[in-house]
Structure 1
Amino acid sequence: MGINILKTLIRNAILLLCCLGFSLSAEPLSEKGKGLDKQVEDLKKAVIELNRELFILEEELLFPGNTQVSIFLSLDIGNYFKLDSVQLHIDNKELANHLYTEREVKALQRGGVQRLYLGNIKAGEHELVAFFTGVGPKGRDYKRGATVSFNKGIGPKYLELKIVDSVALQQPDFEIREWE
């Protein structure tokens, strides 16, 4: 039901823009036409704002808070591991795969956080498994997994995958933690 409302709102916004475009092209450019330019700009701003609100509404409809799970990735330093890819599974179901570009890795090294997954799961006990592939110490190919069991209650669940350098071990450490 909510998605039908969303589709109707989007369709009406597009129809309004099309009608406005046809009416403007039929009028000769004059002083009145110049006043319409401002109205068109105001309408464009209103449509952009409406689009933003529709996006938020769509997220709320598709991923309600009581079933929502979000998984994020961050890096800490990254001297012992150069990330190539991440693969996510919850309860033995593959959720996401991501191959990293050099630019994405640099953004993560500068403190960026990437949302790898946003989806819905039922309340209860679940197991998250993440596989990290990349280049480890001394240029060797490196594939590691990290696992955590978590309880999905009422309300959204946020999990962070964090790759941390272990100076003592001279290798990367892969952590999974729940955000409160």
Structure 2
Amino acid sequence: MDRSGKEKLVSELQESLNAANLVVVTHQNGLSVAEVSDLRRKMRAAGAGFKVAKNRLAKLALTGTKHEGLGEFLKGPTALAYSADPVAAAKVAVTFAKSNEKLSIVGGSMGTETLGADGIKALATLPSLDELRAKLVGMLQTPATRVAVVTAAPAGQLARVLGAYARKGEA
């Protein structure tokens, strides 16, 4: 790769990392092209990205971003998973690492906070941003549903009482 290609790669990676709230550093020893493609597809489906880059270029891309502390993790065959959702990249990476021993979690960064492998695995157990939003909407809708049922109950009871008197009068 020539110098201009490297500069373009670094600037694109830096753009992606600036937009990301979570970056996960992984070691990938011996992953086949099909396995990496499968991982990338799963990352895209979750709204995350996965990039294999030379450590030197990745360190250059990290400079000036809030994830600058990740330079210490960039040793060996590494790849970066990143997402705007603070949980998505961790979930996909940890799930994939459980099913494929060739991928291991090294560490990561959530905002300016640098996390170890255990921190990333703990993040993966949290619900995603969309799941949290769905739970919140469900919690907000439940009281409204209950209020509607309670206010409709007296009218229903009154109708049943009047119906009973009407049937009694006919008999």
**TM-score per shorter chain, which class?**
under 0.3
Q: Using CA pairs under 8 Å that are at least 6 residues apart, name the structure with larger relative contact order, 1 or 2.
A: 2
Higher fraction of strand: 1
TM, length-normalised to structure 1: 0.27
Higher fraction of helix: 2
TM, length-normalised to structure 2: 0.28
Work out which of the two has the higher radius of gyration on C-alpha atoms and give 1 or 2. 2
